A and B are shown apart, each in its own frame.
Chain A
Amino acid sequence: MDGTQTTNESETDIWSEAGTTRVPFQIYQNPDIYAQELERIFYGSSWNYVGLECEVPEAGDFRRNFIGEREVLMIRKDDGALSVVENRCAHRGAQLCQALSGNTGSAIMCPYHQWTYTLDGELTGMPFKRGINGKGGLNSDFDMKAHGLVNLRVESLNGVVFASFDQNVAPLKDYLGPDMVKYFTRIFDGRGLRVVGYERQVIDCNWKLQMENLKDPYHAGILHLFLISFGLFRLDQESKCLVDDSKGHSVLMTAKGTEEGKEDTGGVRIAAPDFALTDHDLIQPRLEFGDNITLSIQTLFPSIIIQAQCNTLATRQVIPKGSGSHELVWTFFGYEDDDDEMKYLRLRQANLMGSAGYVTLDDAEALEFSQVGFTGSPEGEAAVLEIGGTDCESNDHLVTESLIRGFYMRYRDIMGYGEAGT
């Protein structure tokens, strides 16, 4: 990485050991560290998911979202371009839009004192600007230009919108790197998207644990008895774990069916052997991307996950809510050209995913077990991440924690926690 991050002198002792095979439990529960994460990661030089273009098709359409704990609005402008502004009035700080989505017309108006902004966030006016009969109002030297909304950098890649508080952040494609762009555009291939539906859940654990979970193929072949029992995910399937050059992004992929004839469940207990599934559609993906991959999970630093499990496609956005909690927002999507069968499969297979998903309910539970488990642990105690060795490299197998180690290489660098080493 660029090496320009300043060392976090006050906190280097939190993570003094080189490498990322030990992750101090402090970083999941210390509110001071959390405050620094918001500043350095979410409000720093990162690109953050804010939504899909198809959610705001018409001029004036907006979708409300979060970057870190700050609310932002993704808005379609009159010229068809997008803007992302902070959802906070420049006057007294009131929240501008309360609905999750809607249409704000040709201007954004604060409900409190009706200060009004363009869809780009420029302040255009307010009631009684010159007072009444020359009394009151704003002084004539008040600089309207200096009191617009906080306007973020915006980039869209094949219909997926990202924003950054840093106006000088590297272009999105450079931030993602060529390997990640390749797998990103496998799913977001330029076809028109449509939202199938949303799910939201609040999980009481640190946001990073959610990212770890999606970078942890090792757990998926153990915890998720449903997946293992029906061959949707097995640690002996043909698979690939790819870590990008920055180490912060990754993608893991498996191909259902390639485990056939093998019996290596690695000693994992499976569900009752007489548990036969009535609904076979649920576990029969229709291949749709020109390859044999049936599960792909891409995690982009800091906090967005793109999943394709069978034919359920979703973005999962991780929104931090204090050091001990986060919100997970699922946007299930499909393509405008989905045929009726595919539309049906996306609804049907959604039983696997989300807050009640056959697979993912295990995750939400296990993640809370982690947060409860290490709460109050003495300073110096740490998680052990040595499955698959100590490196952060790509693999052609799943029994590894290298993707998580990579995430923390990037994290340590940005947080200034000394030399992560290699």
Chain B
Amino acid sequence: MDHQAEMNQPVTDDVLLRRIERLQLSYISSIDDGPLDSWPQFFTDKCLYTVLSRDNYDRGMELGVMRFESVGMLVDRATATQHAAVFAPRVIRHVLGPALVDDTGEGYRSRCNVVIYQTSPDGDTVLLMAATYDDLIVEQEGVLKFKEKRVIYDTHRIPDSIVYPL
């Protein structure tokens, strides 16, 4: 692990950093503003998307509230959310902090804080979770995509349910 850390080089290329920022902002917009069908396109075909509590993470437990390993599984989730799930309407709003980005040799590792608010039809806004994104981003045919996205959330007493991807 320490060896791995030594391999990491901070990314200082402003253009690359802006492209990575654009990827993150486009990603959260697909969830916050939709359409949700566009959400899977931000991932490589084989990928790891997982949303897990810091409590599980710190215990070395991989169990996540969501765990998907291909674009197909992400499409399943997007489709089920829109056509099979029963839930009260809500608006999701992600707020991202600045990212620490390193070049690992296998891709760009991007870590940033994120808070996610949820607003009910009556207009009540609650904090759904405080979390971090721990991502591995790769370039495929000139396009940056997530090879891994781990949403590690501190708020492990979730208010009601998690409907949308995060």
Contacts from A to B (Cβ < 8 Å): 100, 195-204, 223, 225-226, 229, 271-272, 275, 277-279, 282, 327, 332, 347-348, 350-351, 354-358, 360-362, 364-366, 368-369
Contacts and interface: CB of A to CB of B under 8 A. Distances in A.
Nearest to A272: B83
Contacts of B79: 272, 275
A196 B61 contact: yes
17 contacts: A100-B55, A195-B61, A197-B52, A197-B64, A199-B65, A202-B157, A278-B75, A350-B65, A355-B65, A355-B161, A356-B163, A357-B65, A360-B161, A361-B85, A362-B87, A365-B87, A368-B88
A351 B61 contact: no
Contact of A198 (B63, B73, B80, B159): B63
Contacts of B157: 200-202, 327
Given A197-B56, A200-B156, A356 B161 contact: yes
A195 B60 CA distance: 11
Interface residues of B, number: 36
Contacts of B67: 347-348, 350-351
B21 to A, nearest CB: 27
B65 A362 contact: no
Given A198-B156, A201-B158, A279-B70, 11 more contacts: A197-B61, A202-B159, A202-B160, A203-B160, A226-B80, A226-B85, A278-B75, A355-B162, A361-B85, A362-B87, A365-B161
B163 to A, nearest CB: 6
10 nearest A-B pairs in the assembled complex, by CB-CB distance: A197-B63, A278-B72, A356-B162, A356-B65, A364-B161, A197-B61, A361-B161, A271-B84, A225-B84, A201-B158
Interface in B42-77: 51-53, 55-56, 59, 61-68, 70, 72-73, 75-77
B1 interface: no
A197 B161 contact: no
B76 A332 contact: no
Interface of B: 51-53, 55-56, 59, 61-68, 70, 72-73, 75-77, 79-80, 83-88, 156-163
- A-side interface mostly: mixed
Contacts of B70: 278-279
Contacts of A203: 160-161
Given A195-B61, A200-B156, A361-B163, A356 B76 contact: no
Contacts of B73: 278-279
A89 to B, nearest CB: 25
Given A197-B56, A198-B53, A202-B159, A369 B88 contact: yes
B88 A200 contact: no
B82 to A, nearest CB: 9
Given A198-B56, A351-B67, A275 B83 contact: yes
B47 to A, nearest CB: 13
Contacts of B53: 197-200
Contacts of B85: 225-226, 358, 361-362
B65 A354 contact: yes
